[in-house]
Amino acid sequence: MVAQASDSSASRIHLLLAVQSVVVILVSINRLTTLTTGYVLPNEFLRWVDLNNMLVLPLISAVAFYLLKKHLEQGGAPHRWHLLLSVIFIIGVYLLGASYGDHEVTNYLHLRFCPDDVDSALCRIIIFNDDEFSHWVFFTGFVLVNAALLLIQVIFPYQGVLSGRDKGLLVVNGMFIAAGIFANLAFEVIGLDLYVVALLAALALLLWWRRGPQPLIIYYTTAYSLGLIATALYKIAGG
């Protein structure tokens, strides 16, 4: 019975992480193809690509992360840090939502009305929200959500024994995130995102050293370490 419960628990973790992998694929399709470049309504307030990036795809990701958080917490003993980490997770989700709302709208306005205008007050405000402020809010929320999940895994450790198949699936799902990190870092000017990825990679590696290969620790270590290594190799080769 214990082995069956462990298998079921691992399967739920794989499924919820697979949702994040699917979201990465859909984000790439949404951003890199012309399938969603049409306008949502005749008044042209947004394109489908903007609406999907603002509402549909982040919402799927946030719900999957919340379900993963609840799953990790099941069956664990009460812990004094649990409430604080839950609050941090909620703050992170809110900041991510706020950043998407700010970024997608101003990014659309920037590209459509201010591609070459950096002098007018209106365009300066739009560009600042698109390129600066929304990014700061996003990365703050991103760090809080992912760090909270990692630490919740630590205070509610996996009770079963991970099989080779389980570890392989965790690595495979992590590689989808690593590919997304590589795509964002390798082919664009590197900014704050590099430090965010490095921070989460360092946290995952530290927790692996202190707590061992828990499921989310394996997943995050794979995702962020491989993403950083692949980016470094590409930059070195291209430089």
Domain ranges of the chain: 2-238
**CA dihedral (205, 26, 96, 130) positive or negative:** positive
Give the Cα separation of 224 and 33 in Å (integer).
Answer: 26
Dihedral angle computed from the Cα positions of residues 83, 86, 91 and 93, in that order, rounded to the nearest 10 degrees: -170
- pTM of the predicted structure, to 2 decimals: 0.92
Residue 78: exposure state from Cβ atoms within 10 A (0-12, 13-18, ≥19): exposed
Along the 239 residues of the chain, how does pLDDT read in single tens digits?
445 556 788 999 999 999 999 999 999 999 989 999 999 999 999 999 999 999 999 999 999 999 999 999 986 777 889 999 999 999 999 999 999 999 999 999 999 999 998 889 999 999 999 999 999 999 999 999 999 999 999 999 998 899 999 999 999 999 999 999 998 887 777 778 889 999 999 999 999 999 999 999 999 999 999 999 998 888 788 75
DSSP 39: B
CA distances 161 to 38, 40, 151, 156, Å, are 49, 48, 19, 14
Residue 27: count of CB within 10 angstroms of its CB: 17
